[in-house]
Amino acid sequence: MELRVLGAHNLESKDTRMECHLIDGVLALDAGSLTRSLSFEEQRGIRAIILSHRHYDHVKDLLPLGIAVRDSGTTVDIYGIEDTLNSVRERLLDGLLFPDFLKSPSPENPTFRLHTVEVYKEFKVLDYTAMAVPVPHSVPAAGFQISDGTVRLFYTGDTGRGLSEQWKHVSPHVLLTEVTFGNEHESHADLVGHLTPKLLHECLESFKEVHGSYPRVLVSHVNPPWEEAVRSELEELTQKTGLEFLVTEADMVITL
Ligand SMILES: [Zn+2]
Ligand SMILES: [Zn+2]
C-alpha cells in the first residue's frame, strides 16, 4: 500500500495544506487538498473518497475536484457516516455553488455518488476492505480501517481522548493519527475533541494493552502554531518509549 500525503495540517497557507491523503493513487482519505496537490491527470485517477467527518478542512476540495473531473466520464464514489454525507449533500453538493455533481452530467453517471456506511460493518471500496468506527470529536466523526489484504491502516480523522475505546474493534499495522495541539493545550483539545502528544501516548499504551505491541505511527492534522511543540513533545515521547513517530508533510510518499 502506498500512502501519499496531500495535506497534513488543519489550516491552509502558502506552506500548509488541509488534511488529505491518497492510497495507491485511487482512494482518497478526506478531501482537504485533493486539487491543490494533484495534477489534472492524477485528479482523474481518483476512484473513491472516504470522508471522516463534515468539517470543512476535510471536505473542502470536493467542489473543485467535481468541476475538474465531471467530463471524464467516471463516477467517484464517496463514503462516510450518515451525518457526514447529509451535511455534504445539503451544504456543499446542493447544486447552488457549482453544478449538481450528484445528478450531472447524467443521473445514471453522476460525478459523485454518495454511500452511507454503518459503523462496525465492513464494506468494500475498490479492492480494499474498510470499516468505520465512531471516534470522539466535536461533531459526529469516524475513523476508518482500510485493508488491502496485506496491510491494515487505521486513519483516525479528527479524534480526541476516548479513541482507545475502539482498539478492540480494529487491529491496524499502521496508525495514521491526528495530533492537533501541544500538551500545554490539553484542556482545549479535550473541549474540541483533538489529541496532543500526551493524549496520543495514552491511546498508544491502551493499544499495546489490547494488541500486545504498538502500531507504526504516522502523525497528521497538526495545527501550525503548535507544530514546533508537537514535534519536540513527540521526540521526548520517543526517548521515553522507544516509539518512532513520523510527522507527515504534504507530498511525502510512504510505503506501508
Ligand atoms: Zn480537522
Ligand atoms: Zn474536525
Q: How far is the CA of 106 from the centre of ligand 1 (A)?
A: 32
- Amino acid 40: pLDDT: 97
- Amino acid 2: pLDDT: 98
pLDDT tens-digit map of 175-189: 999 999 999 999 999
Place of cell 470529536: 137
Q: How far is the CA of 17 from the centre of ligand 1 (A)?
A: 11
- Amino acid 61: pLDDT: 98
- Amino acid 244: pLDDT: 96
- Amino acid 183: pLDDT: 98
| Under 8 Å between Cβ of 202 and 183 | no
The CATH number assigned to the domain holding 67 equals: 3.60.15.10
What's the start-to-end Cα distance of the chain, in Å? 5
- Identify the band that residue 8 occupies on the pLDDT scale cut at 50, 70 and 90: very high
- Amino acid 41: pLDDT: 97
Q: How far is the CA of 253 from the centre of ligand 2 (A)?
A: 24
Q: How many domains is the chain partitioned into structurally?
A: 1
Q: How far is the CA of 87 from the centre of ligand 1 (A)?
A: 15
Q: Which domain covers residue 166, as residue numbers?
A: 2-255
- Amino acid 21: pLDDT: 98
pLDDT tens-digit map of 195-241: 999 999 999 999 999 999 999 999 999 999 999 999 999 999 999 99
Joined grid coordinates for residue 57: 478542512
Beta-ladder partners of 155: 144, 176
3-class DSSP assignment, residue 110: strand
- Identify the band that residue 37 occupies on the pLDDT scale cut at 50, 70 and 90: very high
Q: Sign of the CA dihedral 43, 91, 130, 245?
A: positive
Among candidates 45, 34, 39, which has minimal Cα distance to 12? 34
Q: How far is the CA of 57 from the centre of ligand 1 (A)?
A: 5
**Cα pseudo-dihedral 84, 210, 9, 239, rounded to 10:** 170
pLDDT tens-digit map of 93-126: 999 999 999 999 999 999 999 999 999 999 999 9
- Identify the band that residue 54 occupies on the pLDDT scale cut at 50, 70 and 90: very high
Q: How far is the CA of 56 from the centre of ligand 1 (A)?
A: 8
Q: How far is the CA of 106 from the centre of ligand 2 (A)?
A: 32
For residue 143, give the H/E element and its range.
strand 141-147
pLDDT tens-digit map of 122-164: 999 999 999 999 999 999 999 999 999 999 999 999 999 999 9
Q: Is 72 exposed, middle or buried (0-12, 13-18, 19+ CB in 10 A)?
A: middle
Q: Which residues of 197-218 are buried (b: 16+ CB within 10 A; e: fewer)?
A: bbbbbebbebbeeeeeeebbbb
Q: Calculate the average pLDDT of the chain.
A: 97
